[in-house]
Amino acid sequence: MTVALDSTSDLDNRRTLSVSPLIAPAELRRRHGVDALAAATVRNGRRATVDVLDGADDRLLVIVGPCSVHDPVAALDYARLLAAKAADLDDRLLVVMRVYFEKPRTTLGWKGLINDPHLDGTFDVNTGLGIGRQLLCDISSLGLPVACEFLDPITPQHIADLVSYGAIGARTAASQVHRQLSSALSMPVGIKNGTDGDVQVAVDGVRAAGASHVFPGTDLEGRAALIRTAGNPDCHVILRGGSGGTNYDSASVADTMARLRKAGLPERVVVDASHGNSNKDHNKQVDVVESVAARIAAGERGIVGMMLESFLEAGRQDLTLGRASDLVYGQSITDACLDWATTARQLDTLADAVSARCAGGTAR
């Protein structure tokens, strides 16, 4: 259904081609309800993540999964493998699956499953929200907590109740809209450094998101509303490298800690092995894991988590809109990913590093 545009004024709608209804969050939540198991996963995932961030839980947080979900069947296949591996290692790792539905593009490109679920440029957003929400229910029902990037400021009302870890990307770290949104979110939120490598923008973001804000948003019925937030104390910086190079080395982490200290914020970071830290070469994520794991094994505690981009198959492939059936099953259509076997080895490496750190017993 398309709503008629107001044509009585030549001041409006000069470039808007159509306006159509967005499903209300409450209606989507009714159609794709949260069962007791999924709710427990979200609750426990959020609580455990906060404990790891605060140092009350000695494990390492690992946010791992595809760059983007384009095929919910493949994502669920991956989730089953990851859930089993996560259960094996859960004495040392807190594993959260990346289930990213929104892609911030440098210029243009497919913007994710919510925006274009049929991968053909038909932008069936209401269907995308339903597919996405059901996938979050299904993965959470496996006992595996999920992470999403929040890009659009309206759609969090449709899915955020199922999310255990939120991320604000490098392209929106400086955005007041995203900082306000983070201050409202019910889960811990990682804020990335800028694409140019600027870490201060993420530190500033953590500080801003920790405060209370009042801003326009939507309520569960989808009506425009004013939102007043308490502020989110569980925000933290994600180091993802940038155009100037990587930032997962000890000196970069120490520089970030100094910035956090100066801002009066908890000294903790998550390291993203992908993006600017691997120059988008998925194989280089292994170097990042090995470097960080060696430092954790030696007692480093400021790095509270790692992020990895991983899917069933290694690498990436180009999507031709409308030709989804040509795609290789389980391979990314955005950034290149590690394959499952390599991912499992990285998780073992990180778990071994946590064991070594526990055996050594050093301080943060």
Ligand X SMILES: O=C[C@H](O)[C@H](O)COP(=O)(O)O
Ligand Y SMILES: C=C(OP(=O)(O)O)C(=O)O
Residue numbers at the binding site for ligand X (CB under 6 A)? 67, 103-106, 109, 275, 334-335
Burial class (CB in 10 A: 0-12, 13-18, 19+), 186: middle
Binders of ligand Y among residues 188 to 247 (CB under 6 A) are 192, 240
Burial class (CB in 10 A: 0-12, 13-18, 19+), 352: middle
The tokens describing 304, both together, are 């509270």
165 binding ligand Y? (CB under 6 A):
no
Q: Coil, strand or helix: which one is 165? A: strand
DSSP alpha helices (H): ranges in 142-283?
156-159, 176-184, 200-209, 250-262
- Shortest Cβ 278–ligand X spacing (Å): 11
- Shortest Cβ 104–ligand Y spacing (Å): 5
- Shortest Cβ 309–ligand Y spacing (Å): 7
Residue 170 contact among ligand Y, ligand X, none, beta carbon within 5 to 8 Å by kind:
ligand Y
Nearer to ligand Y (CB atom), residue 171 or residue 207: 171
Binning the chain into helix, strand and coil, the percentages to the nearest 5 are 40, 20, 45
143 binding ligand Y? (CB under 6 A):
no
- Shortest Cβ 258–ligand Y spacing (Å): 22
67 binding ligand Y? (CB under 6 A):
yes
- Shortest Cβ 337–ligand X spacing (Å): 10
Nearer to ligand Y (CB atom), residue 288 or residue 297: 288
The position carrying tokens 């990037």 is 149
Residue 109 contact among ligand Y, ligand X, none, beta carbon within 5 to 8 Å by kind:
ligand X
- Alpha carbon distance 56, 53 (integer Å): 8
How many residues contact ligand Y, by CB under 6 A?
Answer: 10
CB 303 within 8 Å of CB 269: yes
149 binding ligand Y? (CB under 6 A):
yes
Q: Pick the piece of the chain touching ligand Y (CB under 6 A) from 164-172, 249-257, 259-267, 349-357.
A: 164-172
Nearer to ligand X (CB atom), residue 9 or residue 106: 106
CB 308 within 8 Å of CB 64: yes
Q: Pick the piece of the chain touching ligand Y (CB under 6 A) from 19-27, 88-96, 165-173, 277-285.
A: 165-173
Residue 192 contact among ligand Y, ligand X, none, beta carbon within 5 to 8 Å by kind:
ligand Y
Which of 66, 112, 166, 169 is in the footprint of ligand Y by CB under 6 A? 169
Dihedral sign for Cα atoms in the order 23, 25, 29, 30 = negative
- Alpha carbon distance 275, 264 (integer Å): 28
DSSP 89: T
Q: Which residues bind ligand Y (CB under 6 A)?
A: 67, 100, 104, 149, 169-171, 192, 240, 275
